[in-house]
Amino acid sequence: MESLKSKLLAFGLPGLFLIAFLDSAGVPLPGGVDLVIMLLSWQRPSSFLFVALVAAVGSTAGCWVLYRIARVGGDKMLARFSPEKQSWVTEKVKRNDVLAVMVAMLGPPPFPTKLFILVAGAVRMDWRRFVAAVFVGRFVRFSAEAYLAVRVGDRAMETLQQHYPTIAVALAVIVVVVLVARRLLAGSAEA
C-alpha cells in the first residue's frame, strides 16, 4: 500500500483525490490523507484551500461508497464493531444526524469515523444531509491541516500529532457553535 500511495502522490492533486477516495472508502493507506495534504500545501502555499477542497471531495466520494454499501447490507458490516459502540453511535446519528457525522469527520484516528458512516447508511440518513455533513466536516479538517502546513512548514505533521486532540476538539466546538447559532437564529426568525 505504501508504494501505491507514493505512486498516487506523484500525480499531485489527482493523486490526492484518489488517496482521499480510497482511504475514505475503507482502503487503509499508511499515513493517510493528512500527510499528503500537508505536503502538497507546503509545496504550494497559495493553493492550500484548493488542496483541501480536492481532498474533501475525494473523501466525500469515498464515504459515499461506504454509506451506499451500508444502506444495502449495513447490519453485516456493523457486526465488526462491539454492540456498545454500535448502540452509542446509532443513538447519536438518530438524534442529530448532521452534527454527529460532521463531528465524526473531524475526529483523529482512532476515532471510529467509519462506524459513523456505516450507521448513517444503515439508519437511512438522508443522502443529501449525509453528503453535506461529510463534505463540511472534511473540508474544515483538511483546510486546518493545509493551513497548518503553510504556517509551520515541515514541522506541521509533528505539530499535528502532538496537538491533534486539542485541534480536533476546537474544530468540533466551532462546528457545534455554528450549527447551534444557525438553529437559534432560524428559530427566532420563525417566531
C-alpha cell, 160: 499535528
Q: CB count, 10 Å around CB of 170?
A: 13
pLDDT at 50: 95
For the segment 63-96, what is each residue's pLDDT rounded down to a tens digit?
A: 999 999 988 876 666 667 778 877 877 777 777 8
pLDDT at 129: 93
H or E stretch including 182? helix 156-190
Instruction: Give this prediction's pTM.
Output: 0.75
Residue range 94-121: mean pLDDT, rounded: 82
CA 190 to chain centre: 32
Quote the CA–CA distance of 184 and 7 in Å, as a whole number: 48
pLDDT band at 1 (very low <50, low <70, confident <90, very high): very low
Closest C-alpha to 2, from 26, 32, 24: 32
DSSP 24-45: HTT---TTHHHHHHHHHHHH-G
For the segment 3-39, what is each residue's pLDDT rounded down to a tens digit?
A: 655 666 667 888 889 989 998 998 877 667 888 888 8
pLDDT band at 110 (very low <50, low <70, confident <90, very high): low
For the segment 152-191, what is each residue's pLDDT rounded down to a tens digit?
A: 776 666 666 666 667 667 766 776 776 677 667 766 666 5
Lowest model confidence (mean pLDDT) among 124-128, 133-137, 173-177? 173-177
Question: Domain coordinates of the chain in residue numbers?
Answer: 2-190
Quote the CA–CA distance of 50 and 150 in Å, as a whole number: 13
